[in-house]
Amino acid sequence: MENVEILKRFIEENNGILLSSDVKKLNIHKQYIKLLCDVDYIERKEKGVYVKKGKNINDFFLLQQRYKTGIYSHNTALYFYNLTDRTPLKYDLTFQNNIRVRDELITPHYSKSNYFLIGQAELSLQDGTTIKLYDLERTIIDILRDRNKIDLQIFNNAINGYMKRTDKNLVKLSKYAKIFNQENVLKKYMEVLS
């Protein structure tokens, strides 16, 4: 039962979470996952995601495990940066434009592959899980690019809120604006807010 003990130790050290990919990396057969489920040590939350019995795990982490290539963006990223007071009704995830996603829980956005990873960041959540999302400046550029598709109040609050932040990086914002061809749009909003 050495493999069971290895997995239990891994689960304890990994905040109560076990992914199928972890078992593969540990070079342990997946039958041991079933064994741990059968004795109620862990439970399946999502395909390939198992957690210690009784542990609550957030939906943001679970959804990103289902859509591993997606990066949280737009309204969902604004929510994490406290630039909106609205909890997203749907999760905004950005994917490379060669991937198509249809899920009623998601508002998918698409990016060319050469722009996809620009501004990718990680955020540790309160339950110890980590998610991928775009950094603050990429999020602002994304909402500038999609300003006609975003609720006007959310858009205005986000832009105004960003400008009031002490952790804003205007150099990075300008760099992203140039990369995404949003320099004139950004300039227009910066002049209004100055």
Average pLDDT score over residue span 10-21 = 87
Domain spans of the chain, in order of start: 2-57, 60-193
What is the enclosing helix (H) or strand (E) of 72?
strand 71-72
Question: What is the predicted pLDDT for the residue at 87?
Answer: 84
Residue 16 binned pLDDT confidence (cut-offs 50, 70, 90): confident
Query: 């205007």: which residue's tokens?
Result: 170
- pLDDT single digits (tens) 96-122: 999 999 999 999 999 999 999 999 999
Query: Is the CB of residue 36 less than 8 Å from the CB of residue 4?
Result: yes
Encoded tokens for 58: 């957030």
Q: State which fold the 2-57 domain adopts.
A: Arc Repressor Mutant, subunit A (1.10.10)
CA-to-CA distance for 184 and 152, rounded, in angstroms?
Answer: 19
191 pLDDT higher than 80: no
Average pLDDT over residues 11-34: 88
| CA 30 – CA 37 distance, rounded (Å) | 11
